[in-house]
Amino acid sequence: MVAVKFPPSFTHCHASVSEINISFDVYSDRFGLEYWLHEKDSKLGKKGDLYRIIYGPSRRPYPPTLLSKFAG
């Protein structure tokens, strides 16, 4: 999936899973769809390999700065 280009409707962030000590590039949309890709080569996959897909409602605000505009 290294050659995959996500459309502008997807946001990009970094995440890690401490139990396996691996970092990921996470691409998500406002509906809660998330693609987790390996950030670099590891024992569980190569850079760009798909680790998991999450379907469902977003667990964090979209866009991420939305709440900060209304706070305080």
Residues 39-51: what's their mean pLDDT?
92
> Is a pLDDT exceeding 80 seen at residue 41?
yes
Q: Between 37 and 59, whose confidence is greater?
A: 37
- Quickly count: other Cβ atoms within 10 Å of residue 47's Cβ: 13
> Is a pLDDT exceeding 80 seen at residue 6?
yes
DSSP states of 5-60: ---TTSEEEEEEETTTTEEEEEEE-TTS-EEEEESS-BTTB-TT-EEEEE-SS-SS
